[in-house]
């Protein structure tokens, strides 16, 4: 037996003004789960309200937050000092939340009278969507639910499960659209917390959007974007000189080359924020990295995949892969979080893909001057969850900003085609983001994704900068300081 | 006293496991149906935890007569033949119901529901959905339920059955705030599941406190064969808090081998013909004996090994097991699992007819809270079939019950209110009573039994049953009721075990030498009710 301290967020909405933490010291056995620690707390204080039933991860009753992350109490290991709170859903009491409004929105089958048993292939397609234990962890973290009446990630999973079942007679695609199919920002939070690892955005929502697309149900703004990609190879219209038009095919570093990478620029940095991309190039040059920029590269296809318009996706993929493969490049660098996530997760590439922050982290950088700013960092969903990158950008930021403050992570609302397709939702999430940054005490917001930066800039009074721009400014400051000393 | 709130309906179903939901779906065709559940609907009970599968005769290579024979032999011929007949004949049709309602069972290459081998059966007869079969069934039944007119009352246990001149006419319920309500019904179906939680080491869910046995018994219904408790041979040993967690029989079905600490495949000495696929009672006793005789692991278990199987097969067929063991640091593709027996299933229960009618008018029962289907030992895969076959039958019979006008007995209500108020005055923690009970039952009424230990255990159970339980707040009243039910269930098990002077199926008496086997046994069912208890004996 070992002794551990557990803090539980207690709350009785009928008598308490708000949740309050209470600390307990309990003894648990080796290998105890959070649930067993809660049992031990309960043995000390029988007024604790918490749910559990099967104790083996199959009934979905015991989802709670441990240190802010949703887990099943019966599966997550108990840790000394952990803070256990309810899921971010309406609290009934203590750790019990009201699941019923979300359970009610799950569609149920409307079976044809004498339908045959599905084929093995059909069964295999449905099975991964069937693992859901309706714990509602996904619902509790979904940003779309904060600002829309989205039915939630698992409701989308259920819609696809039914759409794939030949026994069902319902019109699931139309229903899914009504229930908010296009509200998903593809932030990837839902499936990262799903105890069953059901990849709802990629394996359910995008599949539903594909079927919706085939049925002519794509949003008009999404269709426009797809048309733009089809005709120009780019998802952003040309309004000024693009990055690719400005740079040569190979950009040599200052001094000796320590490494060579290919650069996949992406539509936003190419057409809308080329200056940030040029800043990145300067940072690479300064740090001895040769950058090869194939000019025939096109849109990665992310705007098409996220919105289910995949008809000519393969052409884009082939062209992009060929652009780098033909130059013998073994590492392709991305700078846009969305492009990086797409190349890493939706492509099968003969080369390694790395985000610019990973490249700089791998080779190490010359320290820039510390700018006299208080910076906060916005984790782009497609970098944080899409690529699992959170430390590298922070480490770089700490090198260049005198003060660094955290702002709790949340999706800005611009992804998944939401900015173009459901602008009110994107604006509402953007506004929440803006408020959070302004409350953080920072005087500049820094990120690594052109979509996030562009969107957040519309919703905050604070300046929004790309991390690469900031690094370049750090070097410029350093040079000025050096010149001043001489 | 405040006026008692009363809900009226035609059929009240208590319990939302596989049997209860199935019963409610059926009863709904006849009139207003309420499905009452201690947990969130569909999240309680053991059905959703069932991994292995559902037995049904589907192919020409199999036959109902074979399923019957396997079930009877497995049950040491204590099964009620009429119930077995109903089980075997209806199981395929009830599986078809599930399939037509959207169940996603695994398919074979020929486009049918796939079947695999399970212990004690002469044909591969067990239909499955990976190793989450019960979860698949509940998912299917919940979809059907959501599309039905059944009213659901959640997180509210039934604490007592209401009676009007000898007939069950509803139940009293207790919600999370400690409020009592009455549900009046023309017929009541008990589908509260099992009660293996009376043991310290058990596979069961937290709701398995044996409520149905206890409240049925208190209402005057007869229970049979309550001594028949199945110990599943393979429960997890580590970590301590998850001890007893089921390691599905499918592991042995897929070819898993049992090995003792000396490296011997010991089933050779107990059942060389069927080896690891012998019936559960035989395998459980074999493991208990190996451990008792010093050939166990240091944690008191044996090894269950699938490392000779291709990794892909393990990943495909046993994903839940793979994941669960990985979580505790064991990769079953390359290392054996450590296992030991665990209390799993109560074969006994409320005595029913094939229509689910108990011995009390107005009261029906189905699923694990009923007795007689599985005799002295249940075959893997028969319980899930049981929930569907008898869920439908009980739901239908209850639905066909005539409408009645019943009055709610004030005396009964007041007695319950008094019982609850007393919990605020009590001083003993229900948690500590539960722990003591579970330990006493494991030590004295477990796999190997003898009269003297059973008597001691009965004494302990009696004392614990009389403890003045304390409720810290209104919401703790349900826990007090559950612990009392646990004590009552334990008492029924031990008293019945004392009644049966033989070893049969899961009931193993080390203190009795017998000259008969299951088929020639002079004994029949044990029967226990408020009126008395006894065992059927040939020629008496
Ligand atoms: C881990 C495990 C694996 C198993 N695997 C298999 C298998 O592979 N194949 C097989 O055939 N069998 C298997 N079994 C056995 C089988 O799952 C059960 O016997 C069967 O599911 C019982 O179903 P049920 O509907 O009777 O009860 P349960 O599913 O246990 O449901 C009981 C319901 O009653 C409710 N309840 C209890 N008390 C009250 C009350 N007082 N008031 C209101 N509601 C109440 C509970 O909340 C729950 O909803 C397994 C059992 C376990 C524990
Ligand atoms: S990806 Fe994000 S927005 Fe989309 S359903 Fe999941 S949590 Fe919600
Ligand atoms: S999809 Fe995953 S997280 Fe969401 S309810 Fe189902 S099991 Fe829980």
Per-residue pLDDT of A393-413, as tens digits, reads 999 999 999 999 999 999 999
CA B215 to ligand 3 centroid distance, Å:
35
Least confident window among A84-93, A202-211, A270-279, B107-116: B107-116
Contact with chain B for residue A165, Cβ under 8 A: yes
Contact with chain B for residue A213, Cβ under 8 A: no
In chain A, which residue's Cα lies nearest the Cα of B205? Answer: A54
User: What CATH number has the domain spanning B237-343?
Assistant: 3.90.700.10
Which ligand is the nearest neighbour of the Cα of A194? 3
Indicate which residue's Cα is closest to atom 7 of ligand 2: A142
Tell me whether residue B270 is exposed, middle or buried, using C-beta atoms within 10 angstroms of its C-beta: 0 to 12, 13 to 18, 19 or more: middle
- Among A residues 30-49, those touching chain B with beta carbons less than 8 Å apart: 30-33, 36, 42-43, 45-47, 49
Give me the DSSP letters along A210-272. HHHHHTT-S-HHHHHHHHHHHHHS-SS---S--HHHHS-SEEPPSSS--EEEEEE--HIIIII
Averaged pLDDT for residues B300-328: 91
pLDDT at B1 over 60: no
CA B325 to ligand 3 centroid distance, Å:
21
Instruction: Parse chain B into domains and list their residue ranges.
Output: 237-343, 410-512
Q: If DSSP codes are grouped into helix, strand and coil, which group holds residue A393?
A: helix
Verify whether the Cβ–Cβ distance B476 to A118 is below 8 Å: no
**Residues of chain A neighbouring B211 (CB-CB closer than 8 A):** none
pLDDT at B38 over 90: yes
Contact with chain B for residue A100, Cβ under 8 A: yes
**Residues of chain B neighbouring A33 (CB-CB closer than 8 A):** 239, 241-242
Verify whether the Cβ–Cβ distance B473 to A131 is below 8 Å: no
- What average pLDDT does the structure give for chain A? 96
Averaged pLDDT for residues A210-221: 96
**Residue B107 vs residues A127, A376, B321: alpha-carbon distances, Å:** 11, 53, 21
pLDDT at B361 over 90: yes
Give the number of other Cβ atoms within 10 Å of residue B119's Cβ: 24
A186 lines ligand 2 (CB under 6 A): yes
Question: Where in chain A are all domains bearing CATH 3.10.20.30?
Answer: 2-97
Averaged pLDDT for residues B168-179: 96
User: What class is the B410-512 domain?
Assistant: mainly alpha
Averaged pLDDT for residues B355-363: 98
Q: What does the alpha-carbon distance between residue B268 and residue B276 come to, in Å, rounded to a whole number?
A: 9
Q: What does the alpha-carbon distance between residue B140 and residue A297 come to, in Å, rounded to a whole number?
A: 48
Tell me whether residue A113 is exposed, middle or buried, using C-beta atoms within 10 angstroms of its C-beta: 0 to 12, 13 to 18, 19 or more: exposed
Which ligand is the nearest neighbour of the Cα of A57? 3
pLDDT > 90 in chain B, percent: 88
Contact with chain B for residue A126, Cβ under 8 A: yes
Specify the pLDDT at position B118. Answer: 82
> A102-214, what's its fold?
Fumarate Reductase Iron-sulfur Protein; Chain B, domain 2 (1.10.1060)
**Residues of chain B neighbouring A60 (CB-CB closer than 8 A):** 43
Q: How many residues does chain A have?
A: 486
Give me the DSSP letters along B269-313. GT-TTTGGGS-HHHHHHHHHHHHHTT-S-TTS-EEEE-TTS-HHH
pLDDT at B8 over 70: yes
**Element (DSSP H or E) covering residue B161:** strand B158-164
Domain A2-97 coded CATH 3.10.20.30: yes
CA distance A78 to chain B (A): 11
**Element (DSSP H or E) covering residue B503:** none
Of A31, A55, A168, the CB nearest to B102: A168
pLDDT digits (tens, 9 = 90+) for B115-148: 988 878 999 999 999 889 999 999 999 999 999 9
Averaged pLDDT for residues A377-383: 98
Verify whether the Cβ–Cβ distance B40 to A61 is below 8 Å: yes
pLDDT digits (tens, 9 = 90+) for A410-443: 999 999 999 999 999 999 999 999 999 999 999 9
CA distance A348 to chain B (A): 23
Tell me the pLDDT band of B284, cut-offs 50, 70 and 90: very high
Of B102, B139, B320, the CB nearest to A111: B102
pLDDT digits (tens, 9 = 90+) for A25-62: 999 999 999 999 999 999 999 999 999 999 989 999 99
Domain at A363-485, CATH from 1.10.1060, 1.10.3470, 1.20.1050, 1.10.150: 1.20.1050
Verify whether the Cβ–Cβ distance B206 to A54 is below 8 Å: yes
Q: What does the alpha-carbon distance between residue A249 and residue A324 come to, in Å, rounded to a whole number?
A: 12
**Residues of chain A neighbouring B246 (CB-CB closer than 8 A):** 56
Q: What does the alpha-carbon distance between residue B353 and residue B363 come to, in Å, rounded to a whole number?
A: 11
A194 lines ligand 3 (CB under 6 A): yes
CA angle A468, A471, A476 (to 5 degrees): 125
Of A33, A47, A126, the CB nearest to B241: A33
Given a contact cutoff of 8 angstroms between Cβ atoms, the answer to whether B382 and B125 are in contact is: no
Give me the DSSP letters along B306-337. -TTS-HHHHHHH-HHHHHHHHHTT--TTTSPE
Q: What does the alpha-carbon distance between residue B4 and residue A479 come to, in Å, rounded to a whole number?
A: 83
* Mutation for A interface: B236, B241, B320, B480, most A CBs within 10 A: B241
Q: What does the alpha-carbon distance between residue B330 and residue B122 come to, in Å, rounded to a whole number?
A: 32
CA A433 to ligand 2 centroid distance, Å:
16
* Mutation for A interface: B93, B103, B104, most A CBs within 10 A: B104
To the query of whether residue B374 is one of the catalytic residues in this protein, the response is no
Averaged pLDDT for residues A10-36: 96
Specify the pLDDT at position A478. Answer: 96
pLDDT digits (tens, 9 = 90+) for B413-466: 999 999 999 999 999 999 999 999 999 999 999 999 999 999 999 999 999 999
Tell me the pLDDT band of B2, cut-offs 50, 70 and 90: low
Verify whether the Cβ–Cβ distance B100 to A130 is below 8 Å: no
Averaged pLDDT for residues A369-375: 97
pLDDT at B512 over 90: yes
Q: What does the alpha-carbon distance between residue A325 and residue A361 come to, in Å, rounded to a whole number?
A: 24
Q: What does the alpha-carbon distance between residue A137 and residue A377 come to, in Å, rounded to a whole number?
A: 26
Token look-up 């049997």 returns B19
pLDDT at B539 over 80: no
> Which atom, in ligand 1's list, is nearest to the CA of B134?
17
Q: What does the alpha-carbon distance between residue B265 and residue B260 come to, in Å, rounded to a whole number?
A: 7
Tell me the pLDDT band of B253, cut-offs 50, 70 and 90: confident
Averaged pLDDT for residues B183-193: 98
A155 lines ligand 2 (CB under 6 A): no
* Pocket probe mutation, ligand 2, options A190, A194, A426, max atoms within 8 Å of Cβ: A190
pLDDT > 90 in chain A, percent: 97
To the query of whether residue B507 is one of the catalytic residues in this protein, the response is no
Contact with chain B for residue A57, Cβ under 8 A: yes
A132 lines ligand 3 (CB under 6 A): yes
**Element (DSSP H or E) covering residue B517:** none
Q: Pick the catalytic residue: B132, B135, B245, B252?
A: B252
Q: What does the alpha-carbon distance between residue B226 and residue B43 come to, in Å, rounded to a whole number?
A: 26
In chain B, which residue's Cα lies nearest the Cα of A195? Answer: B323
Of B99, B132, B239, the CB nearest to A31: B239
Averaged pLDDT for residues B200-221: 94
User: How many helices and strands in chain B, by DSSP H and E?
Assistant: 14, 19
ipTM of the complex: 0.94
Given a contact cutoff of 8 angstroms between Cβ atoms, the answer to whether B295 and B261 are in contact is: yes
């Amino acid at each position: 037996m070992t002794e551990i301290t557990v803090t539980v967020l207690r709350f009785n909405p009928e008598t308490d003004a708000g949740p309050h933490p209470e600390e307990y010291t309990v003894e648990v056995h080796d290998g105890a789960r959070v649930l067993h620690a809660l049992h031990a707390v309960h043995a000390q204080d029988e007024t604790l309200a918490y749910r559990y039933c099967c104790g083996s991860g199959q009934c979905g009753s015991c989802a709670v937050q441990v240190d802010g992350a949703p887990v099943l109490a019966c599966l997550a290991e108990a840790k000394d000092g952990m803070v256990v709170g309810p899921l971010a859903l309406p609290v009934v009491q203590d750790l019990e939340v009201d699941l019923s409004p979300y359970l009610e929105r799950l569609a149920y089958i409307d079976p044809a009278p004498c339908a045959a048993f599905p084929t093995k292939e059909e069964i295999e397609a449905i099975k991964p969507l069937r693992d859901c234990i309706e714990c509602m962890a996904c619902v509790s973290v979904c940003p779309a639910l904060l600002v829309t009446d989205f039915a939630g990630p698992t409701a989308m999973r259920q819609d696809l499960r039914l759409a794939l079942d030949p026994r069902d007679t319902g019109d699931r695609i139309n229903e899914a659209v009504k229930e908010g199919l296009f509200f998903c920002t593809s932030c990837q939070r839902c499936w990262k917390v799903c105890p069953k690892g059901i990849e709802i955005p990629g394996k359910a929502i995008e599949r539903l959007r594909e079927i919706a697309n085939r049925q002519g149900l794509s949003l008009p703004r999404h269709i426009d974007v797809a048309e733009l990609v089809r005709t120009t190879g780019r998802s952003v219209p040309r309004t000024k000189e693009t990055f690719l038009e400005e740079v040569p095919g190979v950009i040599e570093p200052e001094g000796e080359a320590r490494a060579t990478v290919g650069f996949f620029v992406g539509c936003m940095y190419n057409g809308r924020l080329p200056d940030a991309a040029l800043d990145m190039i300067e940072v690479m040059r300064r740090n001895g990295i040769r950058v090869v920029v194939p000019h025939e590269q096109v849109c990665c296809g992310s705007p098409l995949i996220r919105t289910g318009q995949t008809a000519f996706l393969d052409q884009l993929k082939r062209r992009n892969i060929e652009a780098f493969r033909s130059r013998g490049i073994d590492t392709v660098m991305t700078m846009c979080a969305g492009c990086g996530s797409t190349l890493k997760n939706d492509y099968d590439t003969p080369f390694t893909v790395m985000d610019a922050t990973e490249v700089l982290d791998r080779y190490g950088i010359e320290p820039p001057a510390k700018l006299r700013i208080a910076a906060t960092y916005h984790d782009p969903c497609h970098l944080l969850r899409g690529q699992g990158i959170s430390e590298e950008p922070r480490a770089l930021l700490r090198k260049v900003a005198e003060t660094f403050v955290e702002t709790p992570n949340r999706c800005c609302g611009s992804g998944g085609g939401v900015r173009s397709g459901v602008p009110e939702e994107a604006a509402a999430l953007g506004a929440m983001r803006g408020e959070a940054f302004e409350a953080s005490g920072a005087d500049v917001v820094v990120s690594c994704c052109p979509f996030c930066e562009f969107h957040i800039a519309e919703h905050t009074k604070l300046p929004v900068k790309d991390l690469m721009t900031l690094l370049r400014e750090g070097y410029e400051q350093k040079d000025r300081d050096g010149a001043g000393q001489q | 006293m405040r006026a008692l709130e009363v809900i009226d309906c035609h059929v009240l179903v208590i319990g939302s496991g596989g049997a209860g939901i199935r019963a409610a779906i059926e009863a709904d065709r006849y009139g207003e149906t309420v499905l009452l559940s201690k947990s969130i609907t569909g999240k309680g009970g053991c059905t959703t935890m069932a991994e292995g599968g559902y037995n049904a005769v589907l192919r020409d290579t199999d036959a109902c007569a074979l399923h019957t024979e396997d079930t009877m032999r497995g049950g040491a011929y204590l099964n009620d033949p009429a119930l077995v007949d109903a089980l075997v004949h209806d199981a395929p049709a009830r599986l078809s119901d599930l399939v037509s309602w959207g169940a996603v069972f695994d398919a074979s290459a020929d486009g049918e529901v796939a079947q695999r081998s399970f212990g004690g059966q002469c044909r591969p007869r067990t239909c499955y959905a990976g190793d989450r079969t019960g979860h698949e069934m509940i998912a299917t039944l919940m979809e059907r339920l959501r599309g039905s007119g059944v009213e659901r009352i959640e997180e509210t246990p039934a604490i007592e059955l209401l009676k009007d001149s000898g007939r069950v006419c509803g139940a009293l319920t207790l919600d999370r705030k400690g409020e009592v309500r009455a549900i009046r019904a023309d017929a009541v179906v008990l589908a509260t599941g099992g009660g293996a939680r009376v043991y310290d080491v058990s596979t069961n869910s937290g709701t398995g406190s044996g409520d149905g046995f206890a409240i049925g018994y208190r209402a005057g219904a007869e229970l049979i064969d309550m001594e028949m408790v199945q110990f599943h041979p393979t429960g997890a040993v580590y970590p301590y808090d998850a001890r007893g967690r089921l390691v599905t029989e499918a592991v042995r079905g897929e070819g898993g081998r049992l090995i003792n600490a000396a490296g011997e495949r010991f089933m050779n000495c107990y059942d060389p013909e069927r080896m690891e696929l012998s019936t559960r009672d035989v395998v459980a006793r074999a493991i208990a004996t190996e451990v008792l005789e010093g050939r166990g692991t240091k944690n008191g278990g044996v090894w269950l090994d699938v490392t000779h199987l291709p990794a892909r097969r393990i990943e495909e067929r046993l994903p839940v097991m793979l994941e669960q063991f990985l979580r505790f640091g064991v990769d079953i593709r390359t290392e054996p699992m450590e296992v030991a027996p665990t209390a799993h299933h109560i074969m006994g229960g409320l005595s029913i007819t094939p229509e689910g009618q108990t011995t009390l008018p107005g009261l029906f029962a189905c699923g694990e809270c009923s007795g007689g289907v599985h005799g002295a030992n249940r075959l893997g895969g028969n319980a899930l079939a049981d929930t569907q076959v008898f869920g439908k039958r009980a739901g239908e019979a209850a639905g066909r019950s005539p409408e009645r006008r019943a009055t709610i007995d004030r005396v009964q209500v007041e007695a319950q209110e008094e019982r609850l108020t007393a919990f605020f005055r009590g001083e003993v923690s229900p948690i500590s009573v539960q722990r003591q009970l579970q330990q006493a039952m494991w030590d004295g009424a477990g796999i190997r039994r003898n009269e003297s230990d059973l008597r001691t255990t009965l004494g302990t159970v009696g004392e614990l049953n009389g403890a003045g339980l304390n409720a810290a707040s209104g919401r703790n009243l349900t826990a007090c009721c559950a612990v009392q039910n646990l004590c009552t269930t334990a008492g029924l098990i031990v008293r019945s075990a004392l009644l049966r002077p033989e070893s049969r199926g899961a009931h193993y008496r080390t203190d009795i030498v017998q000259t008969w086997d299951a088929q020639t046994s002079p004994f029949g069912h044990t029967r226990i009710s408020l009126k008395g208890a006894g065992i059927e004996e040939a020629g008496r």
